[in-house]
């Protein structure tokens, strides 16, 4: 297992523990969603990002995840809303 993959799995473990303590914390959910996306758990990422979608970065990440799931119509509103915050860039 390469170092990056190992670190991502360790981060996911830590974020899972944090979500148990604070299940509605939008920052923790966003971070866990992003780690799940990087690990290829696209549906799991979307579940977390749906719960956390309160800021531009989360909306941008959720839009990217929806594109990965070929949900283009669902991605556009998220990306447009994130753009109103002036936050579009690479995810």
Half-sphere exposure of 37 (CA within 13 A, CB side): 23
Read off the pLDDT of each residue in 52-67 and give the average, rounded to a whole number: 85
53, 10, 17: which is closest to 33 by C-alpha? 53
- How do residues 2-54 score in pLDDT, each as one tens digit? 899 999 999 999 999 999 999 888 889 999 999 999 999 999 999 998 888 77
**Residue 14: per-residue pLDDT:** 97
Tell me the CA end-to-end span of the chain in Å, nearest whole number: 24
Whether 87 has a pLDDT exceeding 60, the answer reads no
| pTM assigned to the model | 0.71
């Amino acid at each position: 297992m390469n170092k990056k993959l190992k670190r991502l799995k360790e981060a996911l473990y830590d974020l899972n523990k944090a979500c148990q303590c604070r299940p509605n914390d939008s920052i923790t959910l966003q971070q866990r969603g992003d780690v799940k996306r990087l690990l290829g758990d696209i549906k799991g990422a979307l579940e977390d990002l749906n719960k956390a979608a309160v800021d531009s970065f989360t909306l941008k990440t959720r839009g990217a995840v929806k594109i990965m799931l070929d949900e283009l119509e669902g991605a556009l509103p998220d990306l447009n809303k994130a753009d109103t915050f002036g936050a579009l860039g690479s995810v």
